[in-house]
């Protein structure tokens, strides 16, 4: 049991074991390279060169298919040999070497426009040139260094394809398991929210908020791996649908629990805005008795997520499953206040999502213990599976040219910044100026605005300062024990790759500490060298910020506005398509559109990090950015829910099209367009329109017609909340609100 619990925790903290695999693969490549070179009697400089080259050859390759990885690795060796040769040839020609280095940096960044392979080859070319400078490569020593590079690339291949192999299907399977574990953790967090007292409610809500975000993160990771990891498009779409169902059901269950605690309907924004006040417990007659049953059912739901129902009949889990699925039928709901009955309904829908997820991932299951309610749920799932097809739409993307292309702009910026770093670095040290250039290069990787570069430069400088202190301690402890130092380097390299996605500061700390040990091995270690490392890092970061700010600058405001417009456009597309389908329109690929919205929102969230960073002096601006992102996350939740409900139309007996929904959708679409126009151009005169509630828009003028027709209450609730949240975006974005039409 303890082993299973530990495995679940690891799977949840590192979805797909991506960080663990990256660390082990890189350490394995370095260890193999050092082992072979050690047996061949290589010198310490050659060991250092081989270790760095093996690391570069391993982490540079990002393609998903093994065949593509092999091709890129094979192409990377001649690129590395050419870069090493030029580094050695130009080592004595200062001006020519500097000019070539700048040109190489420009090409390495520009090559990112050619996809993962171009990015990898550019990175290998730049880093191997850096290795030639680090170990002082000479023309006479090139034959031995060629052999070192060959061993390093072979070690990288062996680690990638033999020691720590990774197949798309295997990775997807681990991601699916991580999704299940994170779903169970979210249910556990919801249990804590249910039991939290007045002093614990804020921490409990924070746990639910973090659990919801982690589940969503894993869903996006699965989405990115479906095409390569499944046997066919239909299977991929089935998994995509079941993942979306489970994610939406879990988030909705959290909202229903908040409503049940407070005796008032909870606002979705509470789950999306850090620091938002949690609803306090209210008094409802009969609530305490019903909540005890909710607590038991949530625990049962968590067990269903983690454990498959056994094949043999009569098991306790199958009976629990039947009971939870029975809550989807009104006659099976326990006596309770309306808000608590909504929780039971949410538990039933979550149990249905878990059942669908289990069937999609594990295949058909034993049905001998099915209750009538469970059998009906299976029939609904089977009917949905039957209509899932593999429609693929070819999106058209506007192609930017010239300096408008992001890769071209970044290449020019980093070339200018590197030129400044070379000049400034020469003043600090004529031997180790390249550290400034390396920092300037690194702060431009995966950044797109001046603010992002500033934050990344600050984090690298902080990690470097702390790493220098650690390097002093480690270098003094190791002394000249070569293999002890290399063993510590392997530990630090693993820590660097394991923490890289979590904290750039930690990654910089580990890499700087490792470099302190390498300096010790090369007999160039001293306190002045490590201090120089800090100075060069600060200089490189400053040069990067200067280049980003004055050479073809992309202001943080401009980038976030562009991404905000993209999010609004994706939101409009999903909402319009879902409402149209719920109104009787032709079916569309709604889940793919919803995931495009999620990805656009993730890009915006990353771009706003400079605005929301704790050290930012603009507190009001930080709070506004957080509030806008939270509102958009709320909009995305309701849009995802509408999309998932719309796709149930062909199979779900209680959901049918209602043409009157088009009126409600039209107002939402017009408001989204007005906000997007205002964000794109402040001179826009577009305004957001408020008016009657969505429910009143659906009132019929024909006497005797039911008020809501055949549209379910859930659809109305999502449309209403989406309408309110879109209007709520107007205030922080300074969009005028027009008077209601009469």
Residues 657-695: tens digit of each pLDDT: 777 777 778 888 999 999 999 888 877 888 888 877 666
- Tokens 């200062």 correspond to 94
Dihedral pair phi/psi, residue 688, rounded to 5° = -85, 140
What average pLDDT does the segment 401-426 reach? 78
Q: How far is CA 223 from the centre of its chain?
A: 11
Tally of CB atoms within 10 A around 625: 23
What's the CA gap between 19 and 629, in Å, rounded? 27
State whether residue 737 is helix, strand or coil: strand
CA-CA-CA-CA torsion for 204, 206, 211, 212, nearest 10 degrees? 110
Q: How far is CA 594 from the centre of its chain?
A: 15
Residue 184 has pLDDT above 80, yes or no: yes
pLDDT tens per residue across span 296-330: 999 999 988 887 665 444 577 788 888 888 888 88
Return the structure tokens found at 541: 């970061």
Where is mean pLDDT largest: 439-443, 449-453, 703-707, 738-742?
439-443
How buried is 183 (Cβ within 10 angstroms: 0-12 exposed, 13-18 middle, 19+ buried)?
Answer: buried
Strand locations in 134-233 (E): none
Residue 399 has pLDDT above 50, yes or no: no
Q: What is the per-residue pLDDT for 69?
A: 93
| Half-sphere exposure at residue 498, Cβ-oriented, CA atoms within 13 angstroms | 16
Q: Are 48 and 525 in contact (CB under 8 A)?
A: no
Whole-angstrom CA distances from 469 to 145, 304, 410, 492, 514 are 32, 49, 33, 14, 12
Return the structure tokens found at 499: 């923490």
Tally of CB atoms within 10 A around 170: 14
Q: Which candidate, 323, 316, 313, 311, places its Cα nearest to that of 371?
A: 323
Q: What is the per-residue pLDDT for 395?
A: 41
What average pLDDT does the segment 570-594 reach? 85
Helix/strand number for the chain, H first, E second: 28, 2
What's the CA gap between 582 and 657, in Å, rounded? 5
- Residue of higher predicted confidence among 164 and 285: 164
For the chain, the average pLDDT equals 82
The residues, ordered by sequence, that sit 6+ positions from 74 with a Cβ below 8 Å of its Cβ are none
Return the structure tokens found at 545: 């910020």
Tally of CB atoms within 10 A around 318: 23
Strand partners, 688: 737
Strand partners, 737: 688
Instruction: Provide the percentage of residues in the chain whose pLDDT is more than 90.
Output: 20
Whole-angstrom CA distances from 524 to 322, 413, 521, 536 are 70, 33, 8, 16
What's the CA gap between 735 and 727, in Å, rounded? 9
What's the CA gap between 715 and 709, in Å, rounded? 12
- Residue of higher predicted confidence among 112 and 289: 112
pTM to 2 decimal places: 0.80
Confidence tier at 396 by pLDDT (50, 70, 90): very low
- Residue of higher predicted confidence among 273 and 192: 192
Return the structure tokens found at 145: 């260094």
- Tokens 């402040």 correspond to 682
Where is mean pLDDT largest: 167-176, 297-306, 425-434?
297-306
pLDDT tens per residue across span 485-522: 889 999 999 999 888 888 888 888 998 888 878 877 77
Q: What is the per-residue pLDDT for 281?
A: 56
Q: Are 452 and 466 in contact (CB under 8 A)?
A: no
| Half-sphere exposure at residue 4, Cβ-oriented, CA atoms within 13 angstroms | 4
What average pLDDT does the segment 241-252 reach? 88
What's the CA gap between 7 and 11, in Å, rounded? 6
Tally of CB atoms within 10 A around 520: 22
What's the CA gap between 280 and 76, in Å, rounded? 59
Alpha helices for 647-712 (secondary structure H): 661-680, 694-697
Tell me 688's DSSP state.
E
């Amino acid at each position: 049991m303890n082993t299973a619990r530990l495995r679940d925790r690891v799977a949840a903290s590192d979805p797909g074991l991506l960080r663990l695999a990256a660390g082990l693969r890189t350490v394995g490549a370095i260890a193999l390279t050092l082992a072979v070179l050690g047996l061949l009697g290589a010198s310490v400089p050659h060991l250092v060169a081989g270790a760095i080259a093996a690391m570069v050859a391993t982490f540079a390759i990002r393609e998903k298919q093994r065949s593509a990885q092999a091709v890129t690795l094979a192409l990377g060796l001649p690129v590395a040999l050419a870069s090493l040769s030029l580094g050695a040839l130009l080592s004595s020609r200062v001006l020519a070497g500097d000019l070539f280095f700048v040109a190489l940096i420009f090409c390495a960044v520009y090559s990112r426009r050619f996809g993962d392979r171009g990015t990898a080859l550019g990175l290998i070319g730049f880093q191997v040139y850096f290795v030639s400078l680090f170990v002082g490569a000479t023309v006479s020593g090139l034959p031995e260094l060629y052999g070192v590079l060959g061993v390093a690339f072979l070690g990288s291949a062996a680690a990638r394809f033999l020691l720590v192999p990774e197949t798309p299907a295997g990775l997807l399977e681990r991601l699916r398991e991580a999704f299940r574990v994170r779903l169970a953790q979210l249910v556990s967090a919801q249990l804590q929210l249910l039991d939290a007292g007045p002093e614990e409610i804020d921490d409990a809500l924070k746990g639910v908020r973090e659990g919801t975000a982690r589940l969503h993160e894993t869903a996006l990771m699965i989405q990115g791996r479906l095409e390569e990891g499944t046997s066919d498009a239909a299977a991929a779409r089935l998994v995509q649908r079941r993942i979306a169902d489970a994610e939406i059901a879990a988030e909705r269950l959290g909202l229903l629990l908040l409503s049940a605690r407070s005796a008032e309907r909870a606002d979705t924004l509470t789950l999306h805005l850090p620091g938002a006040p949690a609803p306090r417990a209210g008094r409802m007659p009969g609530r305490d008795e019903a909540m005890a049953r909710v607590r038991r059912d949530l625990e049962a739901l968590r067990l269903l997520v983690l454990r498959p129902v056994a094949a043999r009949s009569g098991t306790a889990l199958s009976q629990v499953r039947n009971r939870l699925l029975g809550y989807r039928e009104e006659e099976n709901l326990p006596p309770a206040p309306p808000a608590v009955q909504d929780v039971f309904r949410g538990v039933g829908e979550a149990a249905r999502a878990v059942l669908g997820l289990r069937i999609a991932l594990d295949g058909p299951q034993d049905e001998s213990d099915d209750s009538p309610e469970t059998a009906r749920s299976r029939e609904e799932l089977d009917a949905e599976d039957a209509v899932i097809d593999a429609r693929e739409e070819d999106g058209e993307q506007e192609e930017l040219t010239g300096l408008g292309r992001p890769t071209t702009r970044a290449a020019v910026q980093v070339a200018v910044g590197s030129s400044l770093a070379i000049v400034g670095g020469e003043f600090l040290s004529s031997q180790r100026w390249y550290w400034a250039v390396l920092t300037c290069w690194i702060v431009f990787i995966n950044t797109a605005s001046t603010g992002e570069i500033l934050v990344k430069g600050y984090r690298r400088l902080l990690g470097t300062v702390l790493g220098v202190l650690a390097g002093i301690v480690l270098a003094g402890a190791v002394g000249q024990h070569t293999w002890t130092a290399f063993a510590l380097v392997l530990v630090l390299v693993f820590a660097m790759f394991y923490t890289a996605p979590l904290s750039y500061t930690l990654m910089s700390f580990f890499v700087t500490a490792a470099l302190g040990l390498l300096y010790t091995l090369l007999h160039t270690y001293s306190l002045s060298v490590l201090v120089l490392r800090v100075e060069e890092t600060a200089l490189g970061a400053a040069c990067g910020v200067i280049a980003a700010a004055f050479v073809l600058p992309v202001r943080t405001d401009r980038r976030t506005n562009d991404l905000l417009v993209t999010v609004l456009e994706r939101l409009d597309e999903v909402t319009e398509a879902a409402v149209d389908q719920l109104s009787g329109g032709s079916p569309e690929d709604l889940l793919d559109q919803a995931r495009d919205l999620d990805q656009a929102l993730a890009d915006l969230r990353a771009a706003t990090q400079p605005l929301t960073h704790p050290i930012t002096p603009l507190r009001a601006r930080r709070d506004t950015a957080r509030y806008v992102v939270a509102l958009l996350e709320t909009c995305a939740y309701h849009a995802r829910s509408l999309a998932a409900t719309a796709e149930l139309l062909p199979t779900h007996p209680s959901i049918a099209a209602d043409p009157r929904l088009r009126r409600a959708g039209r107002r939402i679409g017009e408001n989204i367009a007005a906000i997007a126009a205002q964000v794109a151009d402040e001179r826009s005169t577009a305004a957001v329109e408020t008016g009657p509630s969505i429910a009143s828009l659906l009132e019929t003028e024909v006497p005797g017609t039911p008020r809501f027709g055949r549209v379910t209450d859930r659809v109305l609730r999502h449309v209403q909340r989406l309408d309110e949240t879109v209007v709520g975006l107007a205030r922080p974005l300074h969009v005028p609100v027009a008077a209601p039409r009469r």
